[in-house]
């Protein structure tokens, strides 16, 4: 069995190859649009969501091919959300993964359309008839992804985030915002990975969902901690930006030490929710640790 | 049997009621986002795409409930595309259906997110387990819609459209652009309606697809004719805009009389492709006439 580092590296390489194959070539018309889609999806990112899909799939013994496709769809949705989030009318950011953001490298219209087209491509992928011989289970994958993306998922979380700038919000409001903004897609990554398996024990799926919920929230708490403590070079994106733009964070609302303690509690909760699965849940445990203990 | 006018009115009312029920209430958080989604989807439009879905469904005897949901999904995609298309970085338009465009009535960030969330909601709808007891057929609906939205469909057409401003393009290039920009979703509306039925004769589906292809193109040719000949009050959107912004149109490339003749040829082609279906294709025939003969 590989150690975690090797496993993570393997998934990152798998994702790069799979995404490169699935994204239309930059030589295919409309070339600028395809170029922008590839620019923003390939060559970077920690691929945390893909790792979560694969790790959850180990618990339900999901086939690797199916996990690759589903993980690629999730990574496309993530890439699209970053493109739109960075646009001038949203966070107005110029740096992402150490490179110019999509609208800076191309232009705003191309960035808008690249995000739109990536969302569509993700749904095209997971509706491919070759993905799963159980069509009903596959439809459930489409539904999980669509719910995670919508106004009561990621897009809704971004709307609440925008509305919270320069405003006093409470800790429950902050938590609700993050449950949608980053939590929904992370939770969907986990649940979709589990649903790639061929057995659907409701009790197992429920525990995996709880894991996904905890890890999704922990991810954001740690992001806030890092944004406050880290620097731009290490993060690959503009550090301290939340504070500068008067965005409420876990650190600004709880203080640094309480935020760190909260992240640890979420980690414990995530790990104990999958303890019954023993060895097949090893990657889920390692991944939760990785997400909470990372330094960028 | 209702006459065409009554039938069209019934579908418009059905769509308004169905969409109003399916869209989250403007009182549900995030309220501004839901308000914007409702603003841009409800209260207007000819509902041509919904009509096409219903008309094609008559040929394959599709159940009304299924057609309503699928037509609503298509109308949500159409509404999202208009929101993004009107944004300052795209066509920068302030008027749509006689009302301020979404980013004018709300703000750019909300418009961006409302479009994003409408796309996701459309996929959520057509992946609902209650839609179809044949999950494989339902997955095909998801796939048809996703392909129509992506970079080799609507979003790709918009990218080519943007790239063609202030540039000389040929008639085949113009046709390719429109086949994607408006044609792909119109064709998908027709094909999805046909796929809502319970029988799937490949020959029937192929003829219906050809109808959709002709009508999709005719729709754009007529749009160009009207944009050139009509006025802002009647269109409910800014008239003469294509010419002002140096966008190539069928009228600018072919001349008015050739454009009108081309629209008539497409109409004949559409109607003859469904002639074998006799009475069940009556609505498809009437609808093709309506699309080509409309004055706004």
pLDDT on residue A237 = 59
Q: How far apart are CA B51 and CA B189, in angstroms?
A: 9
Of A120, A143, A149, Cβ closest to residue B128 = A143
CA distance B212 to chain A (A): 20
Report the distance separating Cα A101 and Cα A141, nearest Å.
30
- Mark yes or no for CB contact A163/B107 under 8 Å: no
Residue A105 has pLDDT above 80, yes or no: yes
Whether B152 and chain A come into contact, CB under 8 Å, resolves to yes
Q: pLDDT tens-digit profile of A190-232?
A: 999 999 998 778 899 999 999 999 999 999 999 999 988 765 5
User: In this predicted model, what pLDDT tens digit does every residue of A134-174 receive, in sequence order?
Assistant: 999 999 999 999 999 999 999 999 999 998 887 888 899 89
CA angle A169, A171, A176 (to 5 degrees): 90
Is A115 in Cβ contact with B30 (below 8 Å)?
no
Cα separation of B243 and B245, whole Å? 5
| Residues 60-119 (B) with a CB less than 8 A from some CB of A | 84, 87, 89-90, 107-110, 112-113, 115-117, 119
Share of chain A above pLDDT 90, in %: 80
pLDDT surpassing 60 at residue A81: yes
Helix axes B135-149, B154-163, angle to 10 degrees: 10
User: Quick one: pLDDT at residue B79?
Assistant: 98
- Which value does ipTM take for this structure? 0.94
Angle (CA) B225-B258-B53 rounded to 5° is: 55
Q: How confident is the model at residue A296 (pLDDT cuts 50, 70, 90)?
A: confident
Report the distance separating Cα B57 and Cα B64, nearest Å.
8
Q: Residue B95, SS3?
A: strand
pLDDT of residue A2: 81
pLDDT at B235: 54
CA dihedral A181, A183, A184, A188 (to 10 degrees): 150
Give pTM, 2 decimals.
0.95
CB atoms within 10 A of CB B276: 10
Distant-in-sequence contacts of B33-37, Cβ < 8 A, 24+ apart: B33/A151, B33/A155, B33/A156, B33/A159, B33/B110, B33/B113, B33/B114, B33/B117, B34/A151, B35/B106, B36/B102, B36/B105, B36/B106, B36/B110, B36/B111, B36/B113, B36/B114, B37/A151, B37/B114, B37/B117, B37/B118, B37/B121
Q: What gap in Å lies between CA A259 and CA A293, rounded to an integer? A: 13
Task: Report the C-alpha gap between B282 and B293 in whole angstroms.
Answer: 16
C-alpha to C-alpha distances, B104 to B80, B93, B101, nearest whole angstrom: 15, 9, 5
Q: Do A155 and B84 touch (CB under 8 A)?
A: no
Chain A residues with CB inside 8 Å of B110's CB? 159, 162
- Cβ neighbours of A29 in B, within 8 Å: 156, 160
Residue of A nearest to B124 (CA): A146
Instruction: Output the pLDDT for position B244.
Output: 58
Site from B109, B143, B245 to mutate, A interface, most A CB atoms within 10 angstroms? B109
pLDDT in tens, B56-65: 999 999 999 9
The answer, for A155 touching chain B at a CB cutoff of 8 Å, is yes
Task: Kindly report, residue by residue over B217-265, the tens digit of the pLDDT.
Answer: 999 999 999 988 765 555 556 655 655 566 788 998 999 999 999 999 9
Per-residue pLDDT of chain B (296 residues; tens, 9 = 90+): 689 999 999 999 999 999 999 999 999 999 999 999 999 999 878 899 999 999 999 999 999 999 999 999 999 999 999 999 999 999 999 999 889 999 999 999 999 999 999 999 999 999 999 998 899 999 999 999 999 999 999 999 999 999 888 788 889 989 999 999 999 999 999 999 999 998 778 899 999 999 999 999 999 999 999 988 765 555 556 655 655 566 788 998 999 999 999 999 999 999 999 999 989 999 999 999 999 998 87
State how far the Cα of B102 lies from the Cα of B264, in Å rounded to an integer. Answer: 35
For position B233, what pLDDT does the model report? Answer: 53
For residues A105 and B112, the answer to whether their CB atoms sit within 8 Å is no
How do residues A225-272 score in pLDDT, each as one tens digit?
A: 998 876 555 555 565 565 556 678 899 899 999 999 999 999 999 999
- Cβ contact A24–B153 (<8 Å): no
Q: Taking CB atoms and an 8 Å cutoff, what residues of chain B touch A117?
A: 149-151, 155-156
Name all domains of chain B by residue range, CATH numbers in brackets: 4-293 (1.10.600.10)
Residues 109-128, chain A, touching B (beta carbon < 8 A): 109-110, 112-113, 115-117, 119-121, 123-124, 127-128
Give the pLDDT confidence score for residue B255 in this predicted structure: 92
A149 and B117: CB-CB below 8 Å?
Answer: yes
Residue A180 contacts residue A160 (beta carbons within 8 Å): yes
User: Which residue of chain A has the CA closest to B164?
Assistant: A30
């Amino acid at each position: 069995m590989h150690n975690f580092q090797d496993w993570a590296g393997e998934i990152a390489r798998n994702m790069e190859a799979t995404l490169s194959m699935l994204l239309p070539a930059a030589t295919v018309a409309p070339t600028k649009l395809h170029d922008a889609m590839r620019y923003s999806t390939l060559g970077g990112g920690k691929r945390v969501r893909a790792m979560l899909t694969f790790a959850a799939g180990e618990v339900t013994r999901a086939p690797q091919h199916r996990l690759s496709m589903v993980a690629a769809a999730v990574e496309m949705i993530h890439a699209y959300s970053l493109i739109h989030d960075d646009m001038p009318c949203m966070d107005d950011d110029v740096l992402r993964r150490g490179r110019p953001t999509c609208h800076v490298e191309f232009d705003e219209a191309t960035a808008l359309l690249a995000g739109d087209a990536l969302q569509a491509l993700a749904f095209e992928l997971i509706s491919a008839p070759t993905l799963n011989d159980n069509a009903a289970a596959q439809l459930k994958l489409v539904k999980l992804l669509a719910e995670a993306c919508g106004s009561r998922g990621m897009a809704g979380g971004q709307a609440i985030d925008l509305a919270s700038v320069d405003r006093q919000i409470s800790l429950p409001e902050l938590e609700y915002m993050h449950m949608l903004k980053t939590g929904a897609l992370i939770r969907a990554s986990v649940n979709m990975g589990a649903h790639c398996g061929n057995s659907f024990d409701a009790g197992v799926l429920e525990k995996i969902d709880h894991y996904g919920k905890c890890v999704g929230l922990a991810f954001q708490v740690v992001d806030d901690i890092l944004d406050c403590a880290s620097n731009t070079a290490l993060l690959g994106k503009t550090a301290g930006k939340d504070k500068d733009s008067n965005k409420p964070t876990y650190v600004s609302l709880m203080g640094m030490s309480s935020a760190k303690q909260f992240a640890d509690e979420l980690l414990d909760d995530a790990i104990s929710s999958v303890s019954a699965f023993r060895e097949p849940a090893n990657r889920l445990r390692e991944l939760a640790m990785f997400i909470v203990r990372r330094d960028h």
